[in-house]
Amino acid sequence: MVLTQLVLFHQFKSTKSASNIALPGCQDSCGENLIPCPFGLGLNCSRSDDFNVTCDRTHNNGTPTPYLTSYFRILNISLSLGQVRVGGIAFSQCYNTTTNKEELTNWEYYFHEKFWLNTEKNKFTVIGCNTLAYLLLDSRYNSTVECVSSCDSLEILSKYGSCSGIGCCQTALPTETSHIKVWFQERNNLPEVFNFSRCTYAMVVEESAFMFETSYITTDKLSAYVATNVTQLPLYESQSLPVLVNWVIENTTCDSA
């Protein structure tokens, strides 16, 4: 397999002074974000529907904001690397003090066949105390990745908290991952931890751009990054939870390319 965009688009420069990087007659930017071909804004302005970009002006204080397939906010596009950085989504399970039960957001997302998660730079990340979360990769074979995060007290969290397993854990993704579905196992020792760790979270996030904070456990800071259904996604603004996605114009052989 070859990433043919490296050949086709090496000539383009990522500056406003460069010649038009969109198809003829098409808009080449959304706000401050350049939208180069094969991506495109509007009818017949992208290589295929997979690369359609929506320029949303109704949120983010009216600032034009690009979204991939209307779901994921585009932070930047790299032609030379064949990558697009998008705003990520967090899944959550929170303890309800009224019902004395944990309530979770049950949502999943997947990318089109020409997109997949960068498995070298993204990590499956779980945040919480006494938390076990699963990442479903392939429903046909019930293939999963799991991550365990533990802490029995606020004192332990404050002293040892890190993404090595105390309050936060991270694990690698298998290659060619494009489908994300998360679920949680019910937490142990819940009465001891829910008063300082009401919610737990799981997400795929670019490892180098994410810095764990113990306040993610003791506050609702991460709740702003939780989407419970697809209609909420255009409202979602993410700078803190970026995800790096690889893309390819075609999956083909070197001879065909």
Q: Measured between alpha carbons, how far is residue 124 from residues 82, 137, 145 in Å?
A: 22, 11, 8
CA distance 137 to 117: 12
Higher pLDDT, 37 or 139: 37
Q: 84 — alpha (psi -120 to 50), left (phi > 0) or beta?
A: beta
Residue 224 binned pLDDT confidence (cut-offs 50, 70, 90): confident
SS3 23: coil
Query: What tens digit of pLDDT does each residue of 157-196 get?
Result: 999 999 999 999 999 998 888 888 888 988 766 677 888 8
CA distance 149 to 157: 11
Residues 6+ apart with CB under 8 A from 256: none
CA distance 117 to 24: 30
**Helix segments in the chain, DSSP class H:** 5-8, 154-160, 190-193, 215-218
Give rounded-to-5 percent helix, strand, coil for the chain.
15, 35, 45
Identify which of 149, 148, 201, 145 has the alpha carbon closest to the alpha carbon of residue 173: 145
Average pLDDT, the chain: 82
Residues 6+ apart with CB under 8 A from 86: 68, 72, 73, 74, 75, 242, 243, 245
pLDDT at 6: 38
Which string of b and e fits 192-222 if b means at least 16 CB within 10 Å?
ebbeebbbbbbbbbbeebbebebebbbeeeb
Q: Are 148 and 169 in contact (CB under 8 A)?
A: yes
CA distance 203 to 79: 26
Identify which of 2, 25, 5, 29 has the alpha carbon closest to the alpha carbon of residue 17: 29
pLDDT at 79: 92
Query: What tens digit of pLDDT does each residue of 43-65 get?
Result: 899 998 889 999 988 776 778 98
Q: Are 201 and 216 in contact (CB under 8 A)?
A: yes
